[in-house]
């Protein structure tokens, strides 16, 4: 947007008639808050279109395996059709315009290490370079077919 348009937009104001206060009566607010507290908000990190209907159907099926929201969050990261899905729990006051995703949990694979360096000790040293590490998958480099940490 050009600066002239932005300046004009900032000068727009409501008339007295348009400044009506609207009082909202919420009769079932407690129940609504309770329902929202069991919600996750998510966003696909992608510049390409995502088939949301197919993604929703697949993820619902996969997530039925878990017991709750905590399971869904802890067993990520989730993706659909190579599009990363970031998730977070709903918090009171969130709107579509102010929700943010400050952290993303990712699995990291380190390829090309000599076989003698594929061990827990090296995994612990390498993970220091990745920030906060939740877990190191020991099974990946202790199997007979290990190719990465």
pLDDT confidence of residue 59: 92
Q: Is residue 25 part of a domain?
A: no
CA dihedral 58, 63, 65, 67 (to 10 degrees): -160
DSSP string, 57-69: HHHHHHHTTSSSH
How many independent structural domains does the chain possess? Answer: 2
| Residue 49 scores a pLDDT above 90 | yes
Q: Is the pLDDT of residue 116 over 70?
A: yes
22 domain residue, yes or no? no
- Decide if 12 is inside a domain: no
Q: How confident is the model at residue 83 (pLDDT cuts 50, 70, 90)?
A: very high
Query: Mean pLDDT over residues 106-116, rounded?
Result: 82
pLDDT at 138: 62
- Report pLDDT for 147: 76
Nearest one of 143, 41, 35 to 89, comparing CA atoms: 41
Domain span at 74? 40-103
Indicate if 83 and 115 belong to the same structural domain. no
pLDDT at 139: 66
Share of the chain above pLDDT 70, in %: 89
């Amino acid at each position: 947007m050009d600066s002239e348009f932005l300046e004009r937009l900032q000068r727009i104001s409501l008339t007295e008639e348009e400044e009506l206060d609207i009082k909202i009566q919420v009769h079932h607010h407690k129940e609504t808050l309770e329902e929202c507290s069991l919600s996750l908000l998510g966003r696909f990190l992608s510049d390409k279109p995502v088939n949301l209907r197919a993604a929703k159907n697949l993820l619902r099926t996969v997530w039925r395996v878990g017991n709750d929201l905590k399971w869904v969050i802890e067993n990520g990261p989730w993706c659909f059709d190579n599009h990363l899905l970031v998730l977070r729990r709903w918090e009171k006051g969130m709107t579509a315009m102010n929700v943010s995703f400050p952290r993303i949990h990712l699995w990291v694979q380190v390829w090309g290490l000599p076989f003698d360096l594929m061990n827990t000790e090296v995994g612990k040293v390498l993970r220091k370079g990745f920030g906060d590490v939740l877990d190191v998958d020991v099974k990946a480099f202790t199997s007979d077919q290990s190719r990465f940490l």
